[in-house]
Amino acid sequence: MQRGPIKKALSAAKTAADQRAGSRAAYSAFEGADAQISPEAMDRLRSAVAQRIDDAGAPKIPGPLGKSPKAGRQINQTLAAMNDEVQAAAAAGQGPAVPLKALEDVRKQAGKLGREVDNIGRPTQGAFTAKQAVDEIDQFIDGLQTADVPVGDANAATAALKKARELWRSSMKTQMLENASDEADNYLSGTAGGLRNQVKSLLRRNKKTKMFSPKEEEALRRVIGNTALGRSVRLLGDGLGAKMATLGGGATGGIAGAAIGRGASELASNIGDSMAERNMEIAKALISQGALQSLPEMPTATRDLIEQLTRRAGVALSQ
């Protein structure tokens, strides 16, 4: 069931550089749409962001201790200044509009503030409020109506912006996987062992960064053999499994039996290495194409049956 979608993803896989180029092209289309929002829409956004930050900020008490965190204040001040300008222009009878690109620039800066952490790696309170602002701006842009955009093509602009963001985020993931593959080549234990170590490191970091989704994490776990088949192959091919296969073969067939048992273990080890490299290529392709959401999944009962059968096969090879 998965063979077709995987084959399609592998043939259509793009490098991180390709995705970055696509993102830049989509962003140029976003700018070219020249969408501008009305004064009423700008005032609505400023109020919504201010309320969201206020709700998520410090306790509402008088004095310095009651002030919003720095990141929240900066975002509020920027949006307030933009709103003052457009309202003043509207009052003077001028062409009042705020370029949608200007709001995207605010979002980018708020996103940077949202990634701030303290000395022990935890998000700061200011980072938390900045993320609230980013979320509110995203909801605002997604919900724009025709009346909110008196100048330019709102549909074309928002579609291009969404595509640019998706490609850029995908390029970051793909670049991390490409770096992991490159680093794996430098391991003395071999490329497959290096891949497993690199992927384990990515998964540990992902607990904080949340860069990869749960389904993407599962695809990466296949690289380190965290599947029914992978666990069974590793069981026979690792150090303990090799000893068991050799001793089991020797107990039943003497020297020749031990050699056969050892050969079976080495074969399993080679299969495990090949599986790791192949699974890494599949993971990169599926993640870069965003194809994991529609990929059929194996039922749990089937996974358990495969693991039982491969374990029995491993025992049989050692006897």
pLDDT number for residue 27: 94
Averaged pLDDT for residues 19-39: 93
Q: 268 near 237, Cβ under 8 Å?
A: yes
Averaged pLDDT for residues 258-283: 60
pLDDT number for residue 125: 75
Please determine, for residue 239, whether its predicted confidence score (pLDDT) is greater than 50.
no
Backbone angles phi, psi at 223, to 5 degrees: -65, -40
Please provide the average confidence, as pLDDT, over all residues in the chain. Answer: 75
Please determine, for residue 248, whether its predicted confidence score (pLDDT) is greater than 90.
no
pLDDT number for residue 172: 92
- Indicate the range of 179-193, 223-237, 252-266, 294-308 predicted with least confidence: 252-266
CB-CB neighbours of 3 under 10 Å: 8
pLDDT digits (tens, 9 = 90+) for 64-87: 555 556 677 788 888 888 888 888
Please determine, for residue 262, whether its predicted confidence score (pLDDT) is greater than 60.
no
- The structural domains of the chain, with segments of one domain joined by +, span 34-152, 175-317
The one-letter code for the residue type at 262 is R
Cα 299 from Cα 85, distance rounded (Å): 58
At residue 166's C-alpha, the angle toward residues 164 and 170, to 5°, is 115
- Indicate the range of 203-212, 272-281, 290-299 predicted with least confidence: 290-299
State how far Cα 214 lies from the chain centre. Answer: 9
Better pLDDT: 255 or 164: 164
State the pLDDT confidence band at 206, using cuts at 50, 70 and 90: confident
Please name which of 267, 249, 271 lies closest in space to residue 258, comparing C-alpha atoms: 249
State the pLDDT confidence band at 305, using cuts at 50, 70 and 90: low
Averaged pLDDT for residues 40-63: 75
State how far Cα 141 lies from the chain centre. Answer: 22
Please determine, for residue 300, whether its predicted confidence score (pLDDT) is greater than 50.
yes
pLDDT digits (tens, 9 = 90+) for 131-149: 888 999 999 998 988 889 9
State the pLDDT confidence band at 265, using cuts at 50, 70 and 90: very low
State the pLDDT confidence band at 154, using cuts at 50, 70 and 90: confident
Averaged pLDDT for residues 292-310: 61
Paired with 151 in beta bridges are: 36
Cα 47 from Cα 182, distance rounded (Å): 48
Please determine, for residue 240, whether its predicted confidence score (pLDDT) is greater than 60.
no
Better pLDDT: 262 or 105: 105
